[in-house]
Chain A
Amino acid sequence: MSDMDRLRWSCRRGLLELDLVLQRFLNEEYSSLGAEQRETFKRLLGLQDNELLDLAMGRADTSDEKFGELVNLMRK
């Protein structure tokens, strides 16, 4: 199974904002991520919708450095 298939569906969320942010991320940023960052992205997708949106929107910060790198890309 290609990870991309599973990831695409994991990017389907209850919040339109998150659908938009994650779709953009998947299309524009994901391909340039290294293997470790891709694993981190999977972990990031495990967050609750509002938690994840808060990070992506800069409403909250994360102490997890690895999350931080990806979140910065999302905030672009």
Chain B
Amino acid sequence: MSYPVRKFDAVIVGAGGAGLRAALQLSEAGCKVAVLSKVFPTRSHTVAAQGGVGAALANMGEDSWHWHMYDTVKGSDWLGDQDAIEFMCREAPKSVIELEHFGMPFDRNENGSVYQRPFGGHMQNFGAGPPSQRSCCAADRTGHAMLHTLYQRNVRSNTHFFVEWMALDLIRDSSGQAVGVTAMEMETGEVSIFHSKAVLFATGGAGRVYASSTNAFINTGDGLGIVSRAGIPLEDMEFWQFHPTGVAGAGVLITEGVRGEGGYLLNKDGERFMERYAPNAKDLASRDVVARAMATEIKDGRGCGDNADHVMLKLDHLGEELIESKLPGIREISKKFANVDPVKDPIPVVPTCHYMMGGIPTNYRGEVVAPSGENKEAIVPGLFAAGECACASVHGANRLGTNSLTDLLVFGKSAGNSTVEFLKQNREHKDLPRDAGDLTRERLDRLNNQTNGESVSEVGAALRQTMQRNCGVFRFPDLLANGVAEIKEVEQRVMRTQISDKSKVFNTARIEALELDNLIEVAMASLVSAEARQESRGAHDRADFSDRDDENWLKHTLWFKEGNRLDYKPVHMNPLTAETIEPKVRTY
């Protein structure tokens, strides 16, 4: 029996910042758009973003999109595509002002303009400094405010939301065009086909592949798993950003705003060690530089605690008043998850997985691109992606803080506009292929009928530990090789997961098993891509190849599920209008 079919112009999978921003373009253009989300839209992970959204508004002093672009290219360790980066930095101020007009409650200066804070890696004068105040925030609730603002606006525009629906697989026709998705309504466990003229993925990150992660439990990389099963490669999956300051043991984030406001890191000798690693920017250096310094301190035996496995973040010198007014929340978080009052004592912190630079390959218009014949970047018709699940690629080998929210706004809108354009050119639904839904049915049948299988939680834990141990902030050749072997074993186990509860209604065990099917693709792509890249660049930091190697590795990785194989494609070194920012050694 085939699955029931629902028809829309476009389906957007994901209702975080990127999905909501894209949906708005479509709804306001009069398209019939369905937005699917595993959780209520305002509970998407974007709600966690505290630090702010980067845009060169120049409200606090001189600034320019060009400086922002320079910082982003440099931050990316020259792996970012310069056309996409120029596009993002030029559009950012407009996007922020637009959001302000939508009602976003940004913090303000006395003259009424949007207040902007300094943030690691953002500088004036093409990296020369001083630090630029470029981050626009709504207290430490920027992501929360953004989601509410965009959600309200979508409700007004009659976007159709399908809340607590989980997309399972992409449907492509014989020409490769995306014509819909399968999705499961959690409340009933029933699967439907969403038949559409276009599909847009905005499923966010996949930080749950690591044992120590700042990401919420829902961040399982579903969009990546879905497209990789449908024959589309994943780009630059070796690049994972580790946040320097996750609470040791819990993963809970201590915002970089703490260092923006003057907090700094200490090793067990009480030394402010960032002075050694980044004499100018010190604790405001780009976050991968900080994470590496911390890992080095820990590796060299200067870590704190009984296991010498973390360092300390000191902010007591800022005083109770400033901590309470500028950094609300940090005090309680430290108390609850680290058992420390930062007004008196430093907070134990450790590098923790935070952000995925890689993802579904797109151009700056949010169109998904994949190799076809000689063309490494052929457009996949009808398929779009934006936000953390996409790789445009603006973050390259390392994302600057505040550039993700910028990415959501700019590329959410851009992907939305491209989808609207596509719908104008493609007015009719293409037929569903005869086998539409078969892959989903096979997966669900396999899961329901599995006997003598593996426990989802045990296999999930093995996956996370494999990644944490072998593919962390520092990478060693023996560990990477070991990791690839181990993850292949984990993959075999994922194919044999079993659930004891077969009920259809809100079956969290089934949902977690289906999420694990996506996590394994992400983990495999990451380890295989990381082992192959024999250089250090941005967040990919190898002990055996300590330098960046532009001659051989100034290129994007593409990982294909089929055959577990890799391909590469050139970095876009030509911006849209500006001059190429030529690769230089990256120091802060």
Q: What is the interface of chain A, defined by CB distance below 8 A to chain B? A: 1, 5-6, 8-9, 12-21, 48-50, 57-59
Contacts and interface: CB of A to CB of B under 8 A. Distances in A.
B46 A14 contact: yes
Given A20-B252, A50-B141, A50-B144, A14 B39 contact: yes
Contact of B38 (A1, A12, A19): A12
A19 B508 CA distance: 14
A59 B511 CA distance: 33
Contact of B253 (A6, A13, A16): A16
A20 B250 CA distance: 9
A61 B164 CA distance: 29
Given A48-B42, A49-B42, A57-B329, A16 B252 contact: yes
Nearest to B508: A8
Given A12-B39, A12-B216, A13-B47, 6 more contacts: A1-B506, A13-B43, A14-B39, A20-B250, A49-B42, A57-B333
A50 B47 contact: yes
Contacts of B43: 12-14, 48-49
Contacts of B252: 16-17, 20
For chain B, which range describes its interface: under 10, 10 to 19, 20 to 34, or 35 or more residues? 35 or more
A59 B215 contact: no
A48 B187 CA distance: 21
Contacts of B507: 5
A58 B48 CA distance: 18
Contacts of B141: 50
Contacts of B253: 16
A9 B329 contact: no
A17 to B, nearest CB: 5
A-B CB proximity, top 6 nearest: A14-B47, A5-B506, A57-B332, A1-B505, A8-B508, A14-B43
Given A12-B38, A50-B47, A57-B333, A19 B506 contact: no
Contact of A15 (B164, B187, B216, B250): B216
A5 B503 contact: yes
Interface in B173-216: 186-187, 213-216
B144 A13 contact: no
A30 to B, nearest CB: 14
Interface of B: 38-39, 42-48, 141, 144, 164, 186-187, 213-218, 250-253, 328-329, 332-333, 336-337, 503, 505-508, 511
Residue of B47, B251, B337, B511 with most chain A CB atoms under a 10 A cut-off:
B47
Contact of B506 (A8, A13, A20, A21): A8
A17 B508 contact: no
10 contacts: A5-B506, A14-B39, A15-B47, A16-B253, A48-B42, A48-B43, A49-B43, A50-B141, A59-B328, A59-B329
A14 B44 contact: yes
A13 B144 CA distance: 12
B282 to A, nearest CB: 28
A64 B511 CA distance: 34
Given A14-B44, A15-B216, A17-B337, A9 B508 contact: yes
Residue of A8, A12, A20 with most chain B CB atoms under a 10 A cut-off:
A12
Contacts of B213: 16
A56 B297 CA distance: 34
A3 to B, nearest CB: 9
A20 B216 CA distance: 9
Contacts of A20: 250, 252, 337
Contacts of B45: 14
Contacts of B164: 9
Contacts of B38: 12
Contacts of B336: 17, 21, 57
Contacts of B218: 12, 14
A16 B164 CA distance: 18
Contacts of B216: 12-16, 18-19
Nearest to B507: A5
A6 B332 contact: no
Nearest to B42: A48
A5 B250 CA distance: 25
A14 B48 contact: yes
Contact of B332 (A5, A8, A16, A58): A58
Contacts of B503: 1, 5
A10 B48 CA distance: 17
B97 to A, nearest CB: 25
A50 B252 CA distance: 14
A6 B507 CA distance: 8
Contacts of A21: 336
B186 to A, nearest CB: 6
Nearest to B143: A14
Nearest to B352: A16
